[in-house]
Amino acid sequence: MTAAARAAIAGAQRIVVKVGSSSISGKHAWRIDAIVEAIAAAHGRGTEVVLVSSGAIATALPFLNLEGRPDDLATQQASAAVGQNVLMWRYQTSLDRFGILAGQVLLTAGDLDNPTHRSNARRAMARLLGLKILPIVNENDTVATHEIRFGDNDRLAALVAQLVGADALILLSDIESLYTRPPDEPGAAPIDMVEFGDDLHGFQFGSVVVNSVGTGGAATKVSAARLAAQAGIGVLVTSADLVDAALRGEHIGTWFAPNPTPTPTALTGPVPVDR
């Protein structure tokens, strides 16, 4: 069953892919090309992809001569303004190889809480997909405040997956799968599949990680995966280095099975079809 669930990703109509700051910034910026190549291949198979990409603040650090992620909100906002521009340029430069155009979508938590803003975001992304444009979504860090943030882009990706009616969500990490405890500890074992409703309290996913480039970690991915699964969206958590294999439906990573009887919410309302 788990193999068949993953295999269905290859033929999915619409997928959301999320990548974190540490995977595409600094010395790892080369992964942007690999991610774009995998998305272009998925496009060629007829799959619509929405990319949720962190990395604006991290990308700006060397340009602003900052050694690490700034602590104060104003500098974070300024860094995001600079870094988002560079980040989109890097994506578009890579996408040019395949004749694919990117469209930037910046959201705040308030946008998804506000019915009008939420409807506009849903309609805009549907139109972008209908035009064969790759929506690249990020939190609008330039205007967001500590009080109204999504918390991390894993959660944002889970909400966007609901918003656009995605068939699956792929959360890219630094390791191939989730483990029962931190993978560098004795006794850690990879988790192949999490059935909907499984009790995960015996596992040690750690806390949210705040490092020199961003926030995240296994705990946020588990939380986001369960949020999307609750809404009926299957979720694959795997390494950014395996993005092509993930989009091809290979048996990798940790699969979160979707709720077989999801309850509709404001985010899972009618999705415009524009093809």
From the list 226, 210, 206, the residue with the least C-alpha distance to 218 is 206
Where in 22-130 does DSSP place strands (E)?
Answer: 48-53, 102-107
**Was 192 annotated as part of a binding site?**
no
**Was 153 annotated as part of a binding site?**
yes
DSSP string, 205-255: ----EE-SS-EE-HHHHHHHHHHHHHTT-EEEEEEGGGHHHHHTT-S-SEE
**Was 221 annotated as part of a binding site?**
no
**Was 212 annotated as part of a binding site?**
no
**Was 211 annotated as part of a binding site?**
no
Neighbouring residues of 212: CB distance < 8 A, sequence distance ≥ 6: 61, 67, 68, 69
Q: Residue 180 corresponds to which tokens in the numbers above? A: 């029962």
- d(CA 30, CA 11) in angstroms, rounded, equals 27
**Was 241 annotated as part of a binding site?**
no
Helix (H) or strand (E) holding 80: helix 73-95
- d(CA 87, CA 194) in angstroms, rounded, equals 33
Annotated binding site for ATP: 18, 173-174
Annotated binding site: 18, 54, 141, 153, 173-174
Annotated binding site for substrate: 54, 141, 153
